Structure 1
Amino acid sequence: MKLTTVGVDIAKSVMQLHYVDAETGEIVNKPVKRVAFLEHFANRSPCLIGMEACGGSQHWARKLTAMGHQVKLMPGKFVKAFVMGNKNDAADARAIWMAVQQPGKSVAVKTETQQAVLGLHRMREQLVKFRTMQTNSLRGLLTEYGEVMGKGRPALDKAIPGVLERLVDRLPTILIDTLREQWNGLAELDKQIAQIERRLQTWMKKDNACKAIAAIPGVGLLTATAAVATMGDAKTFRSGREFAAWIGLVPAQTGSGGKVQLQGISRRGDTYLRTLLIHGARSVLFHAKEPGPWIEQIKKRRPLNVVIAAQANKMARMIWAILAHDRPYEKSYVSVKPV
């Protein structure tokens, strides 16, 4: 049975729908209030519903899927190419309706647990950013008074007590007290980050998929939990290469007239997961006792950053293979193409 295709532009209060009525052939582009959105689809036969992967899309995708509809979430960059004329809700819904009918990799619909794990990652990332900003702010402000400290958090913690003691007679008390409070606030951020990591560790111990891929060299707590939560169902990807391409770890291509040139990595997909894999690959190259003959050979032919990207690509493929085929990591395993 051919499903009716519906494009949905999500908003806070009013959703815009675009579809072609199967009986009359009429092009329908109408707004539906948020409170009546699910009721509208509850009374319809199964549809193919396209939405942009944006805030709230995962929630609506889970609800519509439970009703028997097929939902395809698409990156906003993919949908933008189909927007014609002025940009408004009606044009966006029409563009989504056109985009959902095109071949392309969709964004995985995640469970509430997977989305909760990603929420922990996002909050941890924000706290780390705040901590870095606050550290740099303290260092920069104290430089204005002739106090220069080394880079890094340990250097700051070691030097700042003496710095404040030297400045206490030169600067107003209100500034000295504020600087001390800001420095003490770094310890509080450390506690919050550590607490989030402990919660991720607890979830990882209960999840077999996380424990399986954590055995891969270069894949730690953050990479394992983020990969499982971001990927969703591994079997939605046809191969490990497709998963690596989905997160932007394959070369970008350009060219015409049959001549294609390979460039640097495409950097598409999830930036956070790609960053974790790159850091993990770098740790394998610099800290592994036995990186392996494959790495040793490619290091002789390619620059260091290319080797790191290649190792990250290999790690992504191994993650997919372990999750898709439900098998443990084997260091000596050799992948052979089926005859």
Structure 2
Amino acid sequence: MNTTTYGLDIAKTVFQLYWVEPSGKCFNRRFSRAKLLEFLANRESGRIALEACGSAHWWARQLQALGHEPVLLHARYVRPFVQTNKTDAADAKAIWTAAQQPGMPIVAPKTESQQCVLGLHAMRQLRVKMRTMLVNQLRGTLFEFGIRIRPGLRAGLQEIVQRMDELEQNVPPMLFEFVREQLQSIERLDQEIARLDQRIDAWGRQNRACKTILAIPGIGMLTATAMIATIGDAHTFKSGRQLAAYLGLVPKQTGTGGKVWLRQS
């Protein structure tokens, strides 16, 4: 018995599903979120292909719970199969068509734990960026009043704190108040980053694969947890080169007429 393949175009509130019945009849239907889950719960197990976008990994877990096999495809591989103007119906059919191609690369669904760790990393990265921006903005503002602060985030912050009495004498009162408040904002970001580090560190110490990677010289907890959360099951990849390509560590390859060039990613 052949397994039915579906092409699912997901959005926030509207979902388009394309499939072909064994009789050869084609369907391209629109669903709400609740109606889609209800419909798929009453269907026999099948392959459901969807683009690997923001919520695709959550949907993959929902489909697995309903007994279906999720197939995540890179959007770049789906786009060539859109035959008409880009619509939800056309996208769903293109996803279905792409899923039928032999050797089509697929993306392994992430677990809830992987997504949580990647979310913590994203939150940490944003706070680190905000902290750097606040420190640089503070250094530039003080320089406009003839006050030079030595480079480096920690060194600069330490010097600013040590010279607060001097700054109060040389910076206009209407500005100095906000210099003090900006320092407090930076301190709060430091505390938030520290709490995120603790949560990431706790997860890494409980993860067997993460412990293995930590044994490699030069790899710390942040790199190890980010790598494991991004890769997931290493057995998904056929070779180390395929893994490197997935992480973007190898250059692009283009060729024509028997000549091949390696280019930057």
TM-score, normalization: structure 2?
0.91
Change in CA separation of 1:162 and 1:145 when aligned onto 2, cut-off 3 Å: farther
How do residues 1-339 of structure 1 correspond to structure 2 at under 5 angstroms?
A: 1-23=1-23, 25-102=24-101, 103-161=103-161, 165-169=165-169, 171-264=171-264, 266=265
Change in CA separation of 1:223 and 1:104 when aligned onto 2, cut-off 3 Å: farther
Residue 243 of structure 1 and its aligned partner are, at CA, apart by: 1.0
Change in CA separation of 1:212 and 1:176 when aligned onto 2, cut-off 3 Å: same
**Alignment check: 8 A CA contact 2:135 2:157 kept:** no
Distance 1:134 1:82 in 2: 46
Residue 33 of structure 1 and its aligned partner are, at CA, apart by: 0.6
Distance 1:136 1:82 in 2: 47
Matched AA of 1:37: L
Distance 2:137 2:88 in 1: 42
Aligned length: 264
Distance 1:161 1:195 in 2: 23
Residue 20 of structure 1 and its aligned partner are, at CA, apart by: 1.8
Distance 2:136 2:17 in 1: 47
Residue 68 of structure 1 and its aligned partner are, at CA, apart by: 1.8
Residue 34 of structure 1 and its aligned partner are, at CA, apart by: 0.7
Matched position secondary structure for 1:203: helix
Matched AA of 1:137: Q
Change in CA separation of 1:83 and 1:141 when aligned onto 2, cut-off 3 Å: farther
Residue 184 of structure 1 and its aligned partner are, at CA, apart by: 2.2
Matched position secondary structure for 1:81: helix
Distance 1:135 1:82 in 2: 48
TM-score, normalization: structure 1?
0.72
Segment drifting more, 76-85 vs 58-67: 76-85
What do the CA deviations read for 1:33-79 (whole angstroms, capped 9, x no partner)? 11111111111112211111222211111111122211111222332
What do the CA deviations read for 1:264-320 (whole angstroms, capped 9, x no partner)? 3x3xxxxxxxxxxxxxxxxxxxxxxxxxxxxxxxxxxxxxxxxxxxxxxxxxxxxxx
Matched position secondary structure for 2:130: helix
Matched AA of 2:244: A
Q: Provide the identity percentage.
A: 49
Matched AA of 1:215: A
Change in CA separation of 1:92 and 1:145 when aligned onto 2, cut-off 3 Å: farther
After superposing on structure 2, the runs of 4+ consecutive aligned residues of structure 1 that deviate more than 6 Å are: none
Distance 1:51 1:216 in 2: 36
The equivalent residue for 1:320 is none
Matched AA of 2:94: A
Distance 2:262 2:185 in 1: 47
Distance 2:205 2:158 in 1: 36
Q: RMSD between aligned alpha carbons?
A: 2.0
Distance 1:82 1:148 in 2: 58
Distance 2:240 2:138 in 1: 45
Change in CA separation of 1:200 and 1:257 when aligned onto 2, cut-off 3 Å: same
**Alignment check: 8 A CA contact 1:147 1:163 kept:** no
Change in CA separation of 1:32 and 1:179 when aligned onto 2, cut-off 3 Å: same
Matched position secondary structure for 1:168: helix
Distance 1:261 1:58 in 2: 34
Matched position secondary structure for 2:5: strand
Matched AA of 1:42: A
Change in CA separation of 1:81 and 1:173 when aligned onto 2, cut-off 3 Å: farther
Distance 1:163 1:110 in 2: 49
What do the CA deviations read for 1:141-192 (whole angstroms, capped 9, x no partner)? 2233333333221232133246654453565433211111112221221111
**Alignment check: 8 A CA contact 2:210 2:224 kept:** yes
Residue 128 of structure 1 and its aligned partner are, at CA, apart by: 1.0
Distance 2:112 2:73 in 1: 19
Distance 2:111 2:9 in 1: 22
